[in-house]
Structure formats: C-alpha cells, structure tokens
Chain A
Amino acid sequence: MKAEIIANGSVHAVSAEPHPGTRGVERTPALKRWRHALGLLRQTRIIAAKEFSDRFRSGWVVACVLVWLGAIGLTSFLGLIQVGRIGVQGYERTVISLLNLVQYLVPLLGLLLGHDLMVSENEERTLRLVLAGGVSRARLLFGKFIGGVLTLAVPLVLGFVIAGTAIGFAARDNAISPFLHLAISGLILGVIFLGTGLAISTLSRTRVQALVAALLVWCFVVFVFDLVALGITLSARAPAAAEEIDLLCDTTHVNAAADIHATFDNAGETAHLAAVPQNPPSLGWLALNPVDLFRAVNLPAQLGVHVPATTIFSTVFLWLALPFALSFWRFHRTDL
C-alpha cells in the first residue's frame, strides 16, 4: 500500500513499507559503515549551519564585522596618538596598536558566543527533540562547536580582509606578514575561548550562571593572571623572570602599546629588552594562559621574543582538547 493524501489532509491508507531510500534496504556492512559516516557528517553540518544561521539572523555576525572594521580602522589611524602621530599606519604599526584590542576583545567574543551554545537550548528544552531525533550527544556538541567557530570566524576574517586591504592601499605597505600573523593567531585565540565557553555552557544550569562564569574567566585570563604571575615571580625574587613576564604579559595595561611603539622606534636603545628573552627556557609558562601566548607571538621582531613552536602547538592543543573533553564528559552525564 502507498500513502495517499487527499486535499483536506487526511490519509486514506498508509504504507507499512519502509520509507524509500532511508531504511529497510539490505545493506552490506561496508555500505552501512559509509552511510553511517556520511550520516554523522550530515547531522553535524546541519546543526552547525543552523547555529550560524540563527546568529546571522540575530545580527551578531554583521555587528561583529562592523565592530572589527571600526576597531582595525581606528587603531590603524589613531594607534600612534600616544606617541603624538595621527594617520593610517603600515601593517606592523597597526599590529602593535591592535595587539591590546585583540587580546581583550577576541577572548570576550569567543566566551560570549560559547557560553550560550548548550545552556540556552537546554533551558528552552529544544535539545530533547534533537536527541530524540537520532542525533548523538557527541555529534550535537561537535555541530554546535563548528557552528560557533563559523560564527566567530566569518566576522573576524571579513574584518581583517577588508581592513587589511584598505591599510595596504592607504599606507602603500606590502609587508603584510605581521598582519596575517595577527589575524591567524587572533582567530585561533577566539576558537580556544569558544571551546572554553562551550565547556562553561555544558557545566552551567542556567544562562545567567554561564554568562557570569564566562565573564569571570575573561577577567581572569585578561587581567588577573598577569598580575598574579608578576606578583609571584617578584615575591620569588626572580628579576629576570619578572622582566620577561612584564614584557610579555602587559601587566600594567597602561600605555603598553606606546611602550612597544617606542621600542619599535628606538630598537638600538632598547637592547636590554631584547636581551631578556634571548635565553628563554622554553616560555612554557605561556601554556597557562593563551592570551599571553597570543601576545608573545605577535610582539615585534625588534623585541627578540621567540616562542618555540612546541610551546605554541602544545598550548593550542591543550586549550582546545581540555575544554572539549570536559564538555563531552559533562554533557554525557547530564539528564536533560
């Protein structure tokens, strides 16, 4: 029997046969495995696309693009006002001016996006319907994360591409490498904090709880950590380490960009700064805070700070894997 629908919507007769092309067909194990793998990808893609589409409709993506364009444009134009200059600067100068802004704003964006990913749907009880529809918890979590990455990446990439192109034309600068470095490391920084936000979202019971936790994490990594690190090294009477942390961590948050611009201008006079990191052990402590790692890898070459690749990759891996593992563990133990 086949399903037949009449105009008023009632059904004369419906089939007991399986839905065509979806199930009930004898399959070999290999074909079944392929179909299963494709099914995993399809569900993850659908969840990620919905997440991005919802954020796009809410205006988040467009607002972020505008914020980035404004921020990059203004810092490029007014970035040297602290040292008495105004005008569009080249890529390297823009990077120095942007460093503080990116290290504050990108983790905040990542956390604000991530903290809401699971907890809001749990509060609205829509997660139940998704899980009842044959989506595994791992796929749901991964799809949400990918959707969040897209939502974060699209405005960041657009902002950097548009502003970067404009700076290139206005300042007639071809040395785009530091700017690209900043854009890529900024994007990775955002993804790391999106993962942290996702962990907060799975650990929280309510949206308010998640938001408060996200803001506290942001305050800690951006403000508190550096001061605590400097305090500890000073009290341990390790002046070389204290100087290194002072350089890399922006502990005072006052005129830091001006200090670096001055260093940039007077590279010869600031040889003492360059001397500090010439013998760095491994800068492994940067793994404790990805914001400091981001700052360290974007400092101008004149400062002579070189972060080993192992420190960079292990920190990124650690800060992506840990929150994701925590989210996965917690979500699998949550009754919805």
Chain B
Amino acid sequence: MTPYLQISGLTKCYGANHALDGIELSVETGDVLALLGPNGAGKSTLFGCLLGFTRPAQGELRLNGSAITAAERLNFGYVAERVAVYPQRTVRENAQFFAELKGYSDSEVQRQLTRVGLCSVQERLARALSKGMLQRLGLAIALCGRPELLVLDEPFNGLDPALLETLQEIMREENERGATLLISTHTMSAVEPLATHVAILLQGRLASSGTLAQLKAEHPAADSLEDIYHRIARAKHSAEVLV
C-alpha cells in the first residue's frame, strides 16, 4: 500500500555541508510524527523541501504516490518556527489573505481565530502582537480549511504553559479528525503525549525512526522520549568517536 507521505533518498547540501543526507521516511495518514534533533540537524530543511521553499539536491517526496505540487500544498497547514506575517496588516487581514489564497471564506477565518482565542484582537495590527499571539495567528492560518497535513516547526518554543496546553489540545483535535501531523521540536515532554511516531535526525542523517512504542521497547530503561533521544544521540556520538 502506498504511504501517505514517502520521503526517499532526500539530500540537501549547502556547499560542502550536508544538511540532509539520504533521508528515507514514510508517514501514514493520521500519524503524528515527532521529528527530533539538535539545532542544525536538518529538521527545518526537511520541512522546507516538503513545503516547497527549499530545493532538494537529490531524492524525492511523494504524497499518495505522486510528486508534491503547489496544488497538493493547498491541503497543507504550516506553522513556522518564527511566525512571519505582514506587520502592517491586522490579525484578521493576515488570516484572510492566507485563507483566500487557499480558497477559504471569511467564516472559516473567523472560526479559526475564535478557536485559537484571537477573535477579540482581530483588528489589532500584527506588529503589535506578542510572540504567543503571533504563534496563535500562525496556527489559525495553518488550520484554515481543515488541512490534511499539518507541519509544525518548533511550535512549543517560548510558549507559556497555558498556551502550550491549548496548542496540544488543538493538535489532538486535528489528529482525531484525521489530520496527519509532522512536529519538529526540542520540547520533547510536550510532544510525547501526542506522538505516534518518532524520527531522530542527527547531522542530516536519520539516526532512528519508528513508532513511539517500538522505540520504548528498544530502550526499556528509558523513562521518557527525551531519555530515548539522549541515549540514541549518545550512542551515535560514541560510534562516530570510535570510527
């Protein structure tokens, strides 16, 4: 059976540096994949290749067996690590612009702004928003039109506990309705309750991947996802030192 998202031999180089080196990964519909790795491991580059703003040097990404086009991305939602919107436009205008590009109406914008709790500040200019509010706006934009794939790049960075809980709740709801989620993060405690699958990237290579249950079975002594991650990272580092 064709997986929902198939990544084959994905490689991206910046000069001599391999940001991604032959990544092989498949994701099924409804999976919640936690993409873990230190800074510079290639997580954002992988998302960039998926979303069309980074050109891979080699390899391919296929959605339901077909190459990903701009039309397929109409069904994607993306929350950037640093949400960048138009500062001179209001919250509503920003959300409306991105929703209109995907073909969604104002009522859908209102629905998502209400959902993330931005309805009361929708006439505020985006440049006057706090980081948390910007994050909410990015999420509202991503959620417009019930995307089938949600790509969230470091969504938990710098959030207060209440907002973090809200974000987790929304992600859970999206997954329950059938959306596939790809989440890159350093905040492993936040993604652990959500993740069904985990992929660990180290220096552009896939160090480990599988279901969360499989990884836990492979590392019975580990008491959390964070612990599993550190064990795998340490083992990889030791192997490299020995080589």
Contacts and interface: CB of A to CB of B under 8 A. Distances in A.
Interface of A: 1, 3, 5, 9-11, 13-16, 18-19, 22-23, 36, 39, 42-43, 46-47, 50, 54, 57-58, 124-137, 139, 333, 335-336
A335 B149 CA distance: 22
Interface residues of B, number: 49
B211 to A, nearest CB: 22
A43 B73 CA distance: 13
Given A13-B177, A132-B76, A134-B72, 13 more contacts: A14-B146, A14-B174, A19-B145, A36-B71, A39-B103, A47-B101, A125-B84, A126-B85, A128-B51, A129-B84, A133-B102, A134-B74, A336-B54
B111 A5 contact: yes
18 contacts: A5-B114, A9-B115, A11-B115, A18-B146, A19-B108, A23-B74, A47-B101, A54-B89, A128-B53, A128-B84, A133-B78, A134-B71, A134-B75, A134-B76, A134-B102, A135-B70, A135-B101, A136-B69
A9 B114 contact: yes
Given A5-B115, A23-B74, A335 B55 contact: yes
Contact of A57 (B70, B76, B88, B146): B88
B88 A134 contact: no
A127 B80 CA distance: 12
B74 to A, nearest CB: 4
A130 B89 CA distance: 15
A54 B88 contact: yes
Nearest to B103: A22
B176 A14 contact: yes
A126 B84 contact: yes
A25 B111 CA distance: 23
A333 B54 CA distance: 9
B97 interface: yes
A43 to B, nearest CB: 6
